[in-house]
Amino acid sequence: MPKVKFAVPEQPESDVEMESDVESGEEGDEGDSDLELQVALRDGLLKSDSLNIIGEAKRPPINKKTELEQALKLLEKKTPWIETLDVTVPNQTLTQDVINDDFEREVNFYKQAVEAMKLALPRLKSLNVPIFRPADYFAEMAKSDDHMQKVRKRLMEEKEMRQRQETIRRIREEKKYATSVQREVLATRQTEKRKLADAVKKHRKGMKTQLETMLNNAEQMLKDDEVPEARGPKKHIGAARAQTARKMSRSIRDKKFGFGGQKKRSKRNDKDSFAAFDAGRKGKRGGKKR
């Protein structure tokens, strides 16, 4: 860090004595620097509550107007077009895909060169400048055909790789979409199956309610039929017989009408029935005595 020098104002004798004592205790330039800092701090030239950094003086702006005008005149100096062959082609608006594609960029460069040739060739002919090279003139391209073929092959490989990656990405997205569609179809089927099961349960519950209602009505009808005749009006004899027949127990009905199944040979005599001499003469004994 460079040393800072401050102009020291005149001081009282007491101050001079104090400074001489301090200088006698210090050695060399370091003592002088500390003394100068103390004096500057006492006189308020330094701030005690912040960092003191020596600022570099800014260089004054350079504005050489005469030289700039001379340089401008040199730039504006007109030279024949044949010396520069400058040609400006119309600007083309390129999409982002063309900008990022190396092969398409090269094609656009070629198209720009063709447009420039279409503009420059008539002007060269008008100036009588030879365009076609002589038959005995030998020239070689800056880049050989083999090199350009390698470049073209490299660009084609990169293009095919991008197309392959795009195809793989599209197939992956289609698989994801197919999986999501299949999942949605399965979820829809599960929902429909659940709805159908709920509807069947509700239908069964409704049929059960109807069946219970029918059974309750039948029980009520049987209870009404079992009410004694004394409580109601006298019924017709046929209705009474029908009610009596309706009230016959199962054992009586089985005894009267028999069981189901085969009825053949059920009334043939056997040893016991043949020995019972009076088994078939109930009608001659007369009726029941009253």
Average pLDDT of the chain is 74
What does the alpha-carbon distance between residue 23 and residue 140 come to, in Å, rounded to a whole number? 84
Reported confidence tier of residue 145, pLDDT bands at 50, 70, 90: confident
Quick check: pTM over 0.85?
no
pLDDT in tens, 31-67: 567 787 777 777 777 666 655 566 677 888 888 999 9
Reported confidence tier of residue 134, pLDDT bands at 50, 70, 90: confident
Q: Is 236 helix (H, G, I), strand (E, B) or coil?
A: coil
- Lowest pLDDT segment from 2-6, 205-209, 238-242, 282-286: 2-6
Reported confidence tier of residue 1, pLDDT bands at 50, 70, 90: very low
- Lowest pLDDT segment from 11-20, 131-140, 145-154, 158-167: 11-20
What does the alpha-carbon distance between residue 121 and residue 70 come to, in Å, rounded to a whole number? 35
